[in-house]
Chains A and B, each alone.
Chain A
């Protein structure tokens, strides 16, 4: 049997999954980076509190987050109402609902490696840069980002891979609507339920290989960086 015949409807799922991962990482960069910076350098008293909130998605069952997001996204809430007003569409069961859910779910995966990376270069590096006449933005672009390349790379890779593999939250918030919110993980689930193992094999095998390559890239480059430092 031809593999491409099998893929047919699953192809949309693959596109949606990749789009979700890319858009999520884009917003994580915008939200997670300042948050990591804040946690590494600025906060003192509020740090444990914020760290707890950022880390919660790591320990909570996806169904718990999914449940609260469904309530939070429902058309009766301010957020839900605003979204309908802006797009004419419900936030829940929409692609942007998925994005919002993924951002929350993957936030610790963006923040933690980057925060560690910021903490490693330390406050003294930033002070040195300021004292040499570079302002905060100049310092961030020309000192912090180049010195934390590895951290950014790790955050991106891990968040991307993690978003690809979401299941629970995506199913609850998105509903697995074909062509809209049905991602690879849900397609696999559906195939298995319908006992079409052949189709499941292709998607699952693809995910396995992709994840393997992504992580291998990460560890390969990070290892090299470490070797170069020494």
Chain B
């Protein structure tokens, strides 16, 4: 197990940083916030590259901020910087060996992450002998990721690692990171701007704005909170539903999730039977009606109760929070955000504590909306 606490205070550029957090999860912790909010600075400070801030970093009882005792090359982190860099005078394999040579002593108490495992998982075999000068962006990124992990770090720090990848490869690497994290129990701090990435691999999330921590907690909790919506902007507002896979339709490629007794049919085959699957539903994809609609306009019809309504004064929209009906009482209540026009809200005469029918088209749920647990 591990224990990482961070305190950063001071002015850096135009930013006044005042960040304090205790990282507890050995899963994947997302660091999320707008550009210039201090995310990269936090990773740099953990790496020991920032000296003009008041810094307190404790890792497993070691005071890492004592820079003389823990210079950047003696810290337990594996860092992937925003601009991943390969040493161009070395071949791909020599780049990997660079870190193996320098970290052979550390691997005693941990299950060793082998070079072969990474070469396999990240499909590096055909690259090994190549010069690192003329790799494509995606190839370079995989090599850098492998090299970072080969350090056998106690904590992995990734600064927007996948931002330049195409969607297909991104999905693969996200699955890899999730599996890696589970298999080796190496916690990951992951900076990203992508809500898809958050909901796919995040366990915990820390929200940061203007150098200060705004909120933190588990991803499924935070994504439904207004503190998160404030950061992302209303258009990206969404909520996470958790369901158990109850049926697969192999022919039509559809999966039925059990949401406390209600059904949500989603495309594709996320998870195995009885797996818990998280689905991100964008608020603007949620349709609401106060009465039952007979025509099967969408695959999904859920029932719930409006628990709050927020009318935005200077836009056309309103944000509703709906508590889904629990047909099985033993599980916690799930909340769904909906974003509709205020025009529609008034026309349908919706108000707090109304029972409503919720319609969600499966088409609006794409593969990136899933997160396996």
Q: Is the CB of A8 closer than 8 A to any CB of chain B? A: no
B77: shortest Cβ distance to chain A, in Å?
7
By CB atoms of chain A within 10 A, which of B49, B73, B148 has the most? B73
Tell me if B88 and A131 are in contact (CB < 8 A). Answer: no
Q: Is the CB of A128 closer than 8 A to any CB of chain B? A: yes
B208: shortest Cβ distance to chain A, in Å?
21
Tell me if B72 and A131 are in contact (CB < 8 A). Answer: yes
Bound complex: CA A131 to CA B77 (Å): 7
Tell me if A131 and B75 are in contact (CB < 8 A). Answer: yes
A-B contact count (CB 8 A): 63
Q: Is the CB of A140 closer than 8 A to any CB of chain B? A: no
Q: Which residue of A lies closest to B133 (CB)?
A: A229
Tell me if A125 and B87 are in contact (CB < 8 A). Answer: yes
Contacts of B81 in A (CB 8 A): 124, 127-128
Q: Is the CB of A133 closer than 8 A to any CB of chain B? A: yes
Residue-wise, chain A 1-43 has the 8 Å CB interface mask toward B (1 for contact) of 0000000000000000000000000000000000000000000
Residue-wise, chain B 76-92 has the 8 Å CB interface mask toward A (1 for contact) of 01110101010111000
Q: Is the CB of A147 closer than 8 A to any CB of chain B? A: yes
Tell me if B89 and A130 are in contact (CB < 8 A). Answer: no
Q: Which B residues between 134 and 177 are near A, CB-CB below 8 angstroms?
A: 147-148, 151
Interface size class for chain A? Answer: 20 to 34
A143 in complex: contacting residue of B71, B79, B83, B87, CB < 8 Å: B87
Known: A130-B72, A131-B78. A124 touches B99 (CB 8 A): no
Q: Which residue of B lies closest to A147 (CB)?
A: B89
Tell me if A127 and B72 are in contact (CB < 8 A). Answer: yes
Contacts of A139 in B (CB 8 A): 73
Contacts of A135 in B (CB 8 A): 71, 73
Q: Which B residues between 78 and 114 are near A, CB-CB below 8 angstroms?
A: 78-79, 81, 83, 85, 87-89, 98-99, 102-103
Q: Is the CB of B47 closer than 8 A to any CB of chain A? A: yes
Interface size class for chain B? Answer: 20 to 34
Q: Is the CB of A132 closer than 8 A to any CB of chain B? A: yes
Contacts of A127 in B (CB 8 A): 44, 47, 49, 72, 79, 81
Known: A127-B47, A127-B49. A132 touches B85 (CB 8 A): no
Q: Which A residues between 69 and 94 are near B, CB-CB below 8 angstroms?
A: none
Tell me if B88 and A132 are in contact (CB < 8 A). Answer: no
Tell me if B71 and A147 are in contact (CB < 8 A). Answer: no
Bound complex: CA A127 to CA B48 (Å): 9
Q: Is the CB of A204 closer than 8 A to any CB of chain B? A: no
Tell me if A133 and B71 are in contact (CB < 8 A). Answer: no
Contacts of A228 in B (CB 8 A): 133
A61: shortest Cβ distance to chain B, in Å?
41
Bound complex: CA A133 to CA B78 (Å): 9
Known: A124-B81, A127-B49. A132 touches B98 (CB 8 A): yes
Bound complex: CA A128 to CA B99 (Å): 11
Contacts of B44 in A (CB 8 A): 127
Query: Can you add 14 more A-B contacts, CB < 8 Å, to A127-B44, A131-B75?
Result: A130-B47, A130-B49, A131-B77, A131-B79, A131-B151, A132-B102, A132-B103, A132-B148, A133-B151, A134-B98, A134-B102, A138-B73, A139-B73, A149-B89
Which residues from chain A sit less than 8 Å from chain B, CB to CB? 124-125, 127-136, 138-139, 142-143, 146-147, 149, 228-229
Which residues from chain B sit less than 8 Å from chain A, CB to CB? 44, 47-49, 71-75, 77-79, 81, 83, 85, 87-89, 98-99, 102-103, 133, 147-148, 151
- A-B residue pairs, 10 tightest by C-beta: A130-B72, A133-B102, A146-B89, A131-B79, A132-B99, A130-B73, A128-B85, A135-B73, A133-B103, A125-B85
